[in-house]
Structure 1
Amino acid sequence: MSARRRPSPVQWIGYAFGRKLPDDLRDWVREDLTGRNAYVRHLVRGMVPFIPIFVIFMLFPGPWWLRAQMVALGLVLGLIYSAAYMKQNRAHRLEKHGLDPDLKPARQQAEDDRARTEYERLYRSGS
């Protein structure tokens, strides 16, 4: 039996709401949280729980533009909070799925490695 490569749509929605995925999707979770475009995926995933609220806003009485502005304000606030807590959220999800909570996105890890190498080149060579 081969390991599944992606969660089903229902599993992904549960994952967006904070549920743990089955262990056979652990590699997918690692890639989702640390792979290419992890930041964009995090922001999109963070907006999924707000969709029911946005739908309710659009059902309020009043002009459509006012309802649309309510949704826009909610979207902006949701994105700000999602971006502000991105690192903590990633660590929590990684730990929940049995992965190292200190894993970083590949680009960030490469940048940290370059900075460490440069630091060692500058300051360790003189001692």
Structure 2
Amino acid sequence: MTASKPGAWQRIRYIFGGTLPPSMSDWVLVDLTGPGATRRYLMRFLLPVLPVLCLFLLTPGPLWIGLSMMALLYLPLVYFTVALVYVYRRHRLVSHGFDPELARAAERRRADADRIAYESRHQRG
């Protein structure tokens, strides 16, 4: 399969939950399970909200009031976004026709590497 990348409109549609054509399945798989997948997910959810929240800084009064209102909305958003990384990743994999267990592939690789390193350090006798 060729490794085609989505165009600007396709990428925007993808970020907002749309699916990409099967010709881009390699790109989708790397985006959802490859290195930096969690970082990209967090950036897509947490950064676009910041300009909207900055409108609270226009609230009359001391600066801490606007910052407090921003924090009251942003901190729970951060918490739930981090908590739902795995659920979101599984959903996106299924919507693109992949096995949802691929969401755990990186965790399995790390666990296998840890097990091998442990067994090499502590030879079983």
Judge same fold: TM > 0.5, yes or no: yes
Q: Does 1:104 align with 2:103?
A: yes
Task: Spell out, residue by residue over 1:21-63, the C-alpha distance to the aligned partner (whole angstroms, 9 max, x if none).
Answer: 2222211111111111111111112226x63x85266066424
Tell which has more relative contact order, 1 or 2 (C-alpha 8 A, sep 6+).
1
Distance 2:118 2:54 in 1: 51
Where do 1:1-127 residues align within 5 Å?
Answer: 3-5=3-5, 7-47=6-46, 51=49, 55=52, 58=55, 61-63=59-61, 65=63, 66-104=65-103, 107-114=106-113
Q: Percent identity?
A: 34
Letter in 2 for 1:78: L
Letter in 2 for 1:19: G
Residues 94, 100 of structure 1: 8 Å contact kept: yes
Residues 93, 103 of structure 2: 8 Å contact kept: no
Distance 1:10 1:25 in 2: 14
Q: Structure 1 length as normaliser, TM-score?
A: 0.69
Does the residue aligned with 1:102 lie in a helix, a strand or coil?
helix
Letter in 2 for 1:23: P
How many residues end up aligned between the 2 structures?
Answer: 119
